[in-house]
Amino acid sequence: MSLNELASRLNNIAPFHVMELAKKAAVLEQQGRHIIHMGIGEPDFTAPPAVVEAATRAMADGKMQYTSATGLPQLRQAISDHYRSVYGLEIAPERIVVTAGASAALLLACATLVEKDAQVLMPDPSYPCNRHFVAAFEGQAKLIASGPEHRFQLSAQMVREHWSQATRGVLLASPSNPTGTSILPGELRDIVAEVRERGGFTIVDEIYQGLSYEGTPFSALSLGEDVVVINSFSKYFNMTGWRLGWLVLPPALVPQIEKLAQNLFICASSIAQHAGVACFSAQSIAIYEERKAEFKRRRDYIVPALESLGFKVPVVPDGAFYVYADCSALSDDADRLTLDMLNEAGVVLVPGLDFGPFTARRYIRLSYATSMENLQEAVARLKTFFASRKAAA
Ligand SMILES: Cc1ncc(COP(=O)(O)O)c(C=O)c1O
């Protein structure tokens, strides 16, 4: 078979550039260099003991068969209870569909809502896979440039201005990857109203919602049953490799998504689902809240530290574990700078390139999902790195 015979939709899917940087870092590590990784968006914590025990018990008890496509009833109930206790929201378990991570949730939502050639609005910068989920179903992601004055997010006005005949909906993430910034609740309410008025869909990826450091907990689910919400066990629950997430859907969409999930995945891992129930025990939540406090502590250290190195952090991130820092006072090419920081200081940061063209050359993303010691060591190395560049200039 020749490559010419591959489906043309592949032409609209770009590779993850950050993986190239990770490969270069791996080569340096093989050569014996000590590298500090602040590129990857993955908690440095793993699942708490009760969660691991629940998985082990599920395996020992032979609970490893397929589950229903919508997920284990006790897990859907536990997620529903979590919405009540954290957000004060009554979400019927029947509206919750358990998936293999937020990725499968996004895939199912896009398969259901994105018609061929339909346009979906999203901010630039945003999580790179989002535009590729849309492209996979032959829709078009319309990236809307958004700077710090808009918290790198869409506003209701942008939705109004950019909505066209071809637009079907918006895909948002709050807090966002790569910026760690949330859409303010009032703005999100206005966005949902704009979209609703036009008969479109709103998908809000709340994968980092559990890691919100400011204000009272807020979910887009409070804005109406028509909002599609994505979430996951990967970030707040520290379970990236377990591949577990969920969707909260308008009731009418549940049978449609269920039908698709049955065909595409059958179900999410049953072992992970049994373990997932244990995430919501008081004991596990206490551990997660401690870890969340640790992430906040790291944010409060790293933001001023980056500024003292010459980066600008125009909006202090209020969630997730990322800082999107403006490096224009240090370099006119974020790509080159991240390569130099890797080669000369042994520190991995990600250039803006993957997240959209608007901020690509001006911003770098730092993930503080690594120990405080590593963060302090990275800052010390970068101080030396920038001092020697200054001296050489
Ligand atoms: C905004 C956002 N959505 C979705 C995902 C995918 O997460 P999952 O591991 O739940 O598939 C990620 C992963 O980094 C992300 O940052």
Averaged pLDDT, 323-345: 96
pLDDT in tens, 209-229: 999 999 999 999 999 999 999
Q: What is the Cα–Cα distance from 91 to 81, expressed in whole angstroms? A: 8
- How many angstroms is it from 208 CA to the middle of ligand 1? 9
Tell me which residue has its CA closest to atom 14 in ligand 1. 41
Atom number, ligand 1, closest to the C-alpha of residue 176: 1
Atom number, ligand 1, closest to the C-alpha of residue 106: 4
pTM, entire model? 0.96
Q: What is the Cα–Cα distance from 265 to 90, expressed in whole angstroms? A: 28
Percent of the chain with pLDDT over 90: 91
pLDDT in tens, 100-157: 999 999 999 999 999 999 999 999 999 999 999 999 999 999 999 999 999 999 999 9
- How many angstroms is it from 103 CA to the middle of ligand 1? 6
Averaged pLDDT, 69-83: 98
Atom number, ligand 1, closest to the C-alpha of residue 208: 1
- How many angstroms is it from 139 CA to the middle of ligand 1? 20
Q: Which of 129, 209, 243 to mutate to test the pocket of ligand 1 (most atoms within 8 A of CB)?
A: 129
DSSP strand pairing (119-124 vs 140-145)? parallel
Atom number, ligand 1, closest to the C-alpha of residue 130: 3
Asked if pLDDT for residue 21 goes beyond 90, the answer is no
Question: 258-283 burial string, b = 16+ CB within 10 Å, else e?
Answer: bebbeeeeebbbbbbbbbbbbbbeee
- How many angstroms is it from 2 CA to the middle of ligand 1? 33
Q: What is the pLDDT of residue 1?
A: 65
- How many angstroms is it from 204 CA to the middle of ligand 1? 12
Averaged pLDDT, 59-83: 97
Tell me which residue has its CA closest to atom 7 in ligand 1. 102
DSSP strand pairing (363-367 vs 322-326)? antiparallel
Atom number, ligand 1, closest to the C-alpha of residue 244: 10
Asked if pLDDT for residue 238 goes beyond 90, the answer is yes
For 80, 90, 209, the CA distances from 86, given in Å and listed in that order, are 10, 11, 11
- Residues in the ligand 1 pocket, defined by CB under 6 Å: 41, 101-103, 127, 173, 177, 205, 207, 232, 234, 240, 245
Structure tokens at 224: 């109406």
